[in-house]
Amino acid sequence: MRKARDDNRPRMLMRMPRVHLPHRGKQALAVSAGFFLAIVAAGPLCNESLPPYINPRDVFSGTVQGAYVLTMSDNSVKIYLNVTNRYDETLEGRALLNGEMEISLAGNPMISKTFSISSSNLLTSRNYNPTTGFLRIDPGETIRFGVSWNLVADNGTDLRTGVFRYWEDTECAARCVAEEEVFVIRGSVDIFEQTNTVVADPALFSLCHVSNYVEPRFCPPVDYTIPCSKRAVTTGQGAKRCP
């Protein structure tokens, strides 16, 4: 007698041919892969070429990136982990969504901050049901996790007072701009129990921190078109260190 499918398992709907396969965890993934290989061995079903084979456990790719946000109410670094379904199938099931992101100073890795991430850090939740924990990811779709960093490291170092070297902004004496600092961002996350951990390649992030926000009616906005390495004026006429 056929057993009912466990709806808690991710369902992978084969695109070629269009067949709904019952999935039972790891065994189901092996069956899916074997079914695909059987189609290849039997030869082409039509004149269309078959897509490249992808291990059903290795279906996601990941990238990390950083962004600096300066507003009247926010002066922080945002860190993002993007996960893309690169498999030619829709994946759906109860999700784990457990992982971590880390940002560290490239010149001194001891100054770092690690964040644990979960479903609460999921920024794109269109196809995620927080009540049931079910997630659907279509082919080519990207989901994003995000955290906000207040520039205090795990060891208690406040980079604004212990690392950054500030210079007076030549366009606005009411604020200071720090010399460029380069950070390394890393991230990993488990999406489903039946798929591999998504590990993003490390990425570099440059930051020229600004001491405080100043309303445009008092000073011109910070010009982010100027490369970070040249934003702080450290030599020549007008160069002045901030306390």
DSSP string covering 36-72:
HHHHHHH--SSSSPPPPP--TT--EEEEEEEEEEE-S
Residue 117: HSE in the Cβ half-sphere, 13 Å Cα cutoff? 26
Q: How many whole angstroms separate alpha carbon 157 and alpha carbon 159?
A: 6
* Least confident piece of the model among 38-47, 54-63, 146-155: 38-47
* Least confident piece of the model among 48-52, 101-105, 110-114: 48-52
* Average predicted confidence (pLDDT) for the chain: 84
pLDDT in the model for residue 125: 74
Residue 37, Cβ neighbours under 10 Å: how many? 11
Say if residue 45's pLDDT is above 60. no
- Residue 33 CA, chain-centre distance (Å), reads 28
What single-letter DSSP state applies at residue 30?
H
Say if residue 20's pLDDT is above 70. no
For residue 233, give the nearest of 166, 174, 142, 148 by alpha carbon: 166
For residue 149, give the nearest of 227, 76, 60, 230 by alpha carbon: 76
Q: Which residue has the higher pLDDT, 3 or 143?
A: 143
Q: Which residue has the higher pLDDT, 11 or 76?
A: 76
Q: How many whole angstroms separate alpha carbon 134 and alpha carbon 96?
A: 9
Over residues 15-34, the mean pLDDT reads: 37
Residue 237 · residue 206 · CB < 8 Å: no
pLDDT in the model for residue 7: 54
pLDDT in the model for residue 53: 60
pLDDT in the model for residue 15: 39
Over residues 108-119, the mean pLDDT reads: 97
